[in-house]
Amino acid sequence: MIKIDGSKFKEMLAGGARALELNRATIDELNVFPVPDGDTGTNMSLTLSSAMREANACQSVHIGDIAQAFSRGALKGARGNSGVISSQIFKGFASALDGKAEMTPRLFAQCLKSGTEIAYSAVTKPKEGTILTVIRVMAEAATAAARGKKVEFPEFLKKVIDAGEEILQKTPDMLPVLKKAGVVDAGGRGIVTVFDGMYRAMMGLDLALISGESVKVQEQAEILASSKEFDTLENDYENITFQYCTEYFITHFKNETTDAAIDKYRDYLMTIGDCVLVISDTDLVKTHVHTNHPDRALKAALNLGEIEGVKIENMMEQYRRIHADDAVEEAELKENAIVSVCCGDGMSAIFKDLLADVVVEGGQTMNPSVDAILTAINSAQAKNVYVLPNNGNIILSANQAKELAKSNVYVIPTTNMPEGISALLAYDGEGDGEENYENMCSTLGSVCVAEITHAVRSTRMNGYSIKEGDIIGIHGKKIVAKSQSVSDTAINTVKKIAQDKDMLTIYYGKEVSQDEASMLVERLSGEFGDLEIACYYGGQPHYYYIFSAE
């Protein structure tokens, strides 16, 4: 076998998605920190489940169309840093396979190279010893293995996977935090698992668990999305999705039209339809898209140049009136709006009380998808939208949603909810876009945040010997206290963060009663007589308390 077609490629993608789903719990356990938010496997699996849903819905057997559909689904469903990076890897496949009928090992190597470059560019400060390292080495191995005539695909792909596994085992030597925890990089393990699943599907072999056991290959129809969240690209009309087949050419480009602008245009089309095909040449771009909003597609095209050869066909027998509020006129948009991601009903209420316009449920263990954040941005109906991710693992998804949004989006890189609250207090609803952004960013680091949770596995870290079930206090990325008691750990954690501070704000989680929180406040008041203490119900899961000292 020296070439694979679209049907075989779809089978391989299905095998990769299924392999990841089978192993996601094991990959989750590779989380370095022993806290209940090891969600790398879950995030990657949900991302690829969304991608596979789109690929299965694509009626074309053309390998380029299937790659585009898979990439679009990954983009929509990307969750967390690992999910976003995975979506960028498969965006590289879509780019390299655009217009292609079959894929050779050499073309597969080009796909990996393109995906590696796009993935690295998506991360502000790429760190070696992560999924990025693994995919880069796999791409390099693919380039070397593809040299020669009539290279057999099975042997080629096996060499690529072996190279990935080899570098994966070296990730602890690149990142001391991995070596201390005794694990390999979770994202790297996830991407190797995906390609191993692709290889096994190509060969008709059983899928493999990381533990070494094997699982019978299941039909593609059984690869279902794990998430039931609302999908903005679906409508409520008896499961019929996109009504108009829209085709046209873009010619006579504007001076400011670049390759990056065309890429952004393609990404935008993916948010309003499916079966997207954007083929660019030196002097024209051919577009094909199934969408309920051909006007939006044409408007986006006019930003690049002139339009010729427009053909719009109604693919449904009955005409439906498209919701009037689907297209919001520029004049109706308010000036500014806030979108905040937060976890817990109490925290959600706090952000709403502070006039956040849209609150997205999410945080530890449940990172919202790019599509969910994009939906929130669009529903804010404002010219300027400020997004508070409030979690380090959501910032990348927020930035990807920013690239797809029509509004001016400012992502404030908040890594926890107290930082988000601090940034929101600096927000001026009537203020200038850039000025607001600078003021909100300037608050980052002004609060000292710590969290109390339980250890989900035994480890040794930061000088502490941690056993599963221990109550631990975390400040930044370090464990600063541990005991068998929630209140004792809380007291010892506050001692580490509240020195020379004037104010301590406590947010207690859903596993803590109001009486327990009040008792903790009494103990803290006795320990820190000069410290002003405020206590609020946060309702956050997994974390007994979140402290903010300033």
Report the 3 state secondary structure along 347-407.
Answer: HHHHHHHCCCCEEEECECCECCEHHHHHHHHHHHCEEEEEEECCCCCCHHHHHHHHHHCCC
Element (H, E) at 535: strand 532-537
What pLDDT was estimated at residue 241? Answer: 62
User: Does 37 or 455 have the greater pLDDT score?
Assistant: 455
Three-state secondary structure readout of 111-166? HHHHHHHHHHHHCCCCCCCCHHHHHHHHHHHHHHHCCCCCCCHHHHHHHHHHHHHH
What pLDDT was estimated at residue 421? Answer: 94
Right CATH for 331-441 from 2.40.50.100, 3.30.70.20, 3.40.50.510, 3.10.129.10:
3.40.50.510
* Contact criterion met (CB below 8 Å) for 19 and 196: yes
What pLDDT was estimated at residue 275? Answer: 65
What pLDDT was estimated at residue 224? Answer: 34
Largest CA distance in the chain: 78
Q: How many helices (H) and strands (E) does the chain have?
A: 19, 18
What pLDDT was estimated at residue 96? Answer: 94
Question: Other CB atoms closer than 10 Å to residue 59's CB: what's the count?
Answer: 10
Amino acid at the residue 220: Q
What pLDDT was estimated at residue 149? Answer: 83
Q: What are the residue ranges of helices labelled H in 29-62?
A: 40-57
d(CA 184, CA 6): 33
* Contact criterion met (CB below 8 Å) for 246 and 312: yes
pLDDT at 191 over 80: yes
Which CATH superfamily groups domain 6-216? DhaL domain (1.25.40.340)
What pLDDT was estimated at residue 36? Answer: 60
The mean pLDDT value of the chain amounts to 85
pLDDT band at 213 (very low <50, low <70, confident <90, very high): low
499 alpha-carbon distance from chain centroid? 36
Q: What is the CATH number of domain 244-314?
A: 3.30.70
Q: Does domain 448-549 have CATH number 3.30.310?
A: no
What pLDDT was estimated at residue 278? Answer: 73
Tokens of residue 115, six digits: 């995906």
Q: Which of 298, 297, 305 is CA-nearest to residue 253?
A: 305
Angle at 216 between CA 212 and CA 220, to 5 degrees: 125
Domain extents in the chain: 6-216, 244-314, 331-441, 448-549
User: Does 287 or 390 have the greater pLDDT score?
Assistant: 390
pLDDT band at 97 (very low <50, low <70, confident <90, very high): very high
pLDDT at 219 over 80: no
pLDDT at 321 over 70: no
Bridge partners, residue 288, by sequence: 247, 277
Tokens of residue 107, six digits: 């073309």
User: Does 136 or 269 have the greater pLDDT score?
Assistant: 136
| Per-residue pLDDT tens over the stretch 71-88 | 988 988 888 888 889 999
For residue 429, the number of C-alpha atoms closer than 13 Å in the C-beta half-sphere is 7
d(CA 410, CA 217): 44
Whole-structure pTM value: 0.69
Angle at 156 between CA 153 and CA 157, to 5 degrees: 85
Answer positive or negative: Cα dihedral of 113, 117, 119, 120.
positive
